[in-house]
Amino acid sequence: MDPGGLIQTCLLVSIGASVLSGNPIGTSTINCNGGGNQRVGAVDEGYTGDVELVNGITPGQSVKLVPYFFPSHLEFLELSFTLGETTATVRTKKPLDAEALEDADLLLHYSVMCDGNADEGVIKHNNTRTLKVNDLNDNGPVFSKKLYSVTVSEIHPVDTEVVRVNAVDGDSTSANNRVTYSTVPSSDYFSFNNFGAFILTRRLNYNLVQNFSFVVTAEDKWGLVDTANVQINVEDFDNLNPYFSHNQYQAYIQENEASSIDNMQPEPIKAQDGDTGIDMTITYSIRAVSPEKYRITLTSPTLEFSL
Ligand SMILES: *[C@@H]1O[C@H](CO)[C@@H](O)[C@H](O)[C@H]1NC(C)=O
Ligand SMILES: *[C@@H]1O[C@H](CO)[C@@H](O)[C@H](O)[C@H]1NC(C)=O
């Protein structure tokens, strides 16, 4: 005999047994004279198999699986029953899912109804059942965006929020869906809080730093994580005055000559704007002329002086 074949057979038997034979979560005796209400028990989400063994069915009495408050819960269940038998079994049609029961306080609701003949005036009593489905940490946090990109003015007030990230964990209970946030690298300009917010901690200066990038991580209690990128772009604000490159400009002009002055030393007059990121138009004016008897006008923007 082939010993390999023997081992394989044994394995198959034991696997089959563990899935199919598992005891039902609860057993009950049906009451078709008055109905009833019962908590079947509790089981972890993901469970498949027998849920409830229903005893005490009078031979000839028909029973049916019907909704109890939450019709959608029946998508998880089916009833195994043959007319004439005294027992019926409620079992899963698909793995139980705590997230699908959130609005029912994680209680799966169903009813085994005694299905009489209405014409005979038989009351179709319900034997209502609830089964507690325990939430497992089968979901990790997920950021609402992979990239958070914001533009912030360099005059954004210190100690106020610049951008906030958010990750949601699909699990049903706070023990499994609470998310904590962290970020790298750390920065002198921003603090990062438990709510996922970047708070400006010192004045921005476009001329020094034009952008920041961070990687944020959301983690649940059991170590499931998601990451996202944060890009903060600084926008220049017109907060610096224009300035001249030289304190003094010189030009010579012939006596009695009224013309353009085009030999300005050390270079033509031109001012720079202190804000490097915005192209503001600079306007020029002459404050005073000495001796006062001369009149000098300037032609902007080429800055030609004429007498
Ligand atoms: C039992 O439940 C079913 C389905 O919800 C309903 O139609 C029926 O009227 C109920 N029976 C009684 C006696 O309330
Ligand atoms: C960030 O700023 C640097 C320096 O000004 C620049 O070279 C780079 O392109 C910027 N990156 C982004 C993503 O804007």
User: For 225-276, what is each residue's pLDDT tens digit?
Assistant: 999 999 999 998 877 777 777 778 888 777 777 777 777 888 888 877 777 7
Q: How far is ligand 1, taken at its centre, from the CA of residue 290, in Å?
A: 105
* Residue 55 to residue 63: CA distance in whole angstroms: 11
Single-letter amino acid code for the residue at 190: F
What is the reported pLDDT for 281? 77
Residue 202 has pLDDT above 50, yes or no: yes
Confidence at 119, pLDDT banded by 50, 70, 90: low
Residue 12 has pLDDT above 50, yes or no: no
CATH superfamily for domain 21-134: Immunoglobulins (2.60.40.10)
- Probe residue for ligand 2, chosen from 150, 204, 206, 211 as the CB with the greatest number of ligand atoms within 8 Å: 211
- Select from 142, 71, 121, 124 the least CA-distant residue to 100: 71
Domain spans, the chain: 21-134, 141-235, 238-307
| 289 vs 196, more confident | 196
CB of 80 closer than 6 A to ligand 2? Answer: no
* Residue 78 to residue 7: CA distance in whole angstroms: 35
* Residue 34 to residue 126: CA distance in whole angstroms: 8
Mean residue pLDDT across the chain: 85
CB of 210 closer than 6 A to ligand 2? Answer: yes
| 237 vs 150, more confident | 150
What is the reported pLDDT for 188? 94
| 9 vs 52, more confident | 52
- Does 21-134 match 141-235 in CATH topology? yes
Q: Is pTM, for the whole model, over 0.75?
A: no
Q: Does domain 141-235 have CATH number 2.60.40.1930?
A: no
Q: How far is ligand 1, taken at its centre, from the CA of residue 221, in Å?
A: 43
